[in-house]
Chain A
Amino acid sequence: DVKVTQSSRYLVKRTGEKVFLECVQDMDHENMFWYRQDPGLGLRLIYFSYDVKMKEKGDIPEGYSVSREKKERFSLILESASTNQTSMYLCASSLFSGAGELFFGEGSRLTVL
């Protein structure tokens, strides 16, 4: 089975702190994604990566950056956390480009005070 592991299930950070959310997948997938999930808004794409060191902006990239130094690892970075970034963050990976199943991690719930 594909496993997507997010390193932190729950984090509490203060405004202005730098935050790293780590994600690792074990199925040699080319594509990895970061979504945020908020009540009433569903899942919104922040960034995705289709290859090592490659990244593409999603729908809401402002305030975020990403890093993909190795194929299995995709990190989401909040350079200076703000309260409106309090959310559930979901990492996903996929074998196919676009028209294929996404495999999700369990999520990281971030609270910014």
Chain B
Amino acid sequence: GESVGLHLPTLSVQEGDNSIINCAYSNSASDYFIWYKQESGKGPQFIIDIRSNMDKRQGQRVTVLLNKTVKHLSLQIAATQPGDSAVYFCAVHNSNSGYALNFGKGTSLLVTP
């Protein structure tokens, strides 16, 4: 199976600072990784994804880093804004999980003024 965990359940950052949210996974056969953002009262929304043949991918203000050697994934948010306050989930796919993604438990990001 796959175990997906986040290092910190909560993270507080000041507006304008950079945020880093971490995720660890257990299965070296994992081939696809995705970050979701969930605001209060809403369903998870896609942020960014990365496949195992890459180690870095950038979006708008977000970067995902993948370290397959230590089975670690991180989401970096540049110049964090109050609207970034949400719960962030990593999700992992491996060949054994078939159709499904395995989700971590989430990190709650709080952005303070």
Cβ–Cβ < 8 Å partners of A90 in chain B: 43-44
Closest to B90 in A: A42
Interface string of A39-59 (1 = CB under 8 A from B): 011111100101000001010
CA distance A64 to B49 in the complex (A): 31
Task: Pick out which of these stretches binds chain B: A13-21, A79-87, A104-112.
Answer: A104-112
Knowing A41-B105, A42-B105, A43-B89, say if A98 contacts B100 (CB, 8 Å).
Answer: yes
Cβ–Cβ < 8 Å partners of A100 in chain B: 32
Binds A, one of B14-22, B65-73, B91-99: B91-99
Contact A99 B100 (CB under 8 A): no
Q: Is the CB of B105 within 8 A of A50?
A: no
B25 at the interface (CB under 8 A from A): no
Question: Count the B residues whose beta carbon is within 8 Å of the partner chain — how many?
Answer: 24
A98→B46 contact, CB < 8 A: no
Contact of B103 among A4, A43, A48 (CB under 8 A): A43
A98 touching B99 in the complex, CB below 8 Å, given contacts A90-B44, A105-B43, A106-B42: yes
Q: Which residues 1-16 of A sit at the B interface, judged by CB distance below 8 A?
A: 4
Q: From B100, which residue of chain A is reached at the shortest CB distance?
A: A45
List chain A residues, Cβ under 8 A from B42: 106-107
Once the chains bind, are B97 and A98 in contact (CB under 8 Å)? yes
Once A40-B105, A43-B103 are accepted as A-B contacts, the answer to whether A104 and B45 lie under 8 Å apart by CB is yes
- A25, CB-defined interface residue at 8 Å: no
Interface core residue of B32, B41, B43, B44 (most chain A CB under 10 Å): B43
B56 within 8 A of partner (CB): no
Q: List 8 A-B contacts (CB under 8 A).
A: A43-B91, A99-B31, A100-B32, A102-B91, A103-B46, A104-B36, A104-B44, A104-B45
Q: Which residues of A are in contact with B by a Cβ distance under 8 Å?
A: 4, 31, 33, 35, 40-45, 48, 50, 56, 58, 90, 92, 94, 97-107
